[in-house]
Homo-oligomer: A and B are copies of this chain.
Amino acid sequence: MSEIEEAINRMKKVHLIITGPDGSVARSNIDLKSEVNKYIYNIGELIDKARNIVRDVDPSNDMTLLRFTLRKHDIIIAPGKNFRIIIIQETNKDATTEEKS
């Protein structure tokens, strides 16, 4: 596979989702029936929990970015006041078959 084709294929595996604060999807480039979509709703709850933990400890602190590295995906979440930006990138499975600790 040429370098250009590889780069294009990598881009295809980047999913962008913009949701409202309630988790409703406002903009997305993914098939909403796909497996990736299953993460979104559950993750919304997780973001709220994480933000609350941070603010409970120090109200002047706040979460600006949350990043999950999974075996199969990289998930980056930017929680805003009125919307959330979620980026899900599929990682190369072959490159992430390192042994578990």
Taking CB atoms, residues of chain B closer than 8 Å to A56 are 42
Q: How many copies does the complex hold?
A: 2
In contact, B39 and A68 (Cβ under 8 angstroms): no
Taking CB atoms, residues of chain B closer than 8 Å to A72 are 58, 60-61
Taking CB atoms, residues of chain B closer than 8 Å to A73 are 61
**How many angstroms between the C-alpha atoms of A90 and B82 in the bound complex?**
27
A64 at interface, CB cutoff 8 A: yes
Count chain A residues whose beta carbon lies closer than 8 angstroms to a beta carbon of B: 34
In contact, B67 and A71 (Cβ under 8 angstroms): no
A: residues with CB less than 8 A from B are 35, 38-39, 42-43, 46, 49-50, 53-54, 56-58, 60-73, 78, 80-82, 96, 100-101
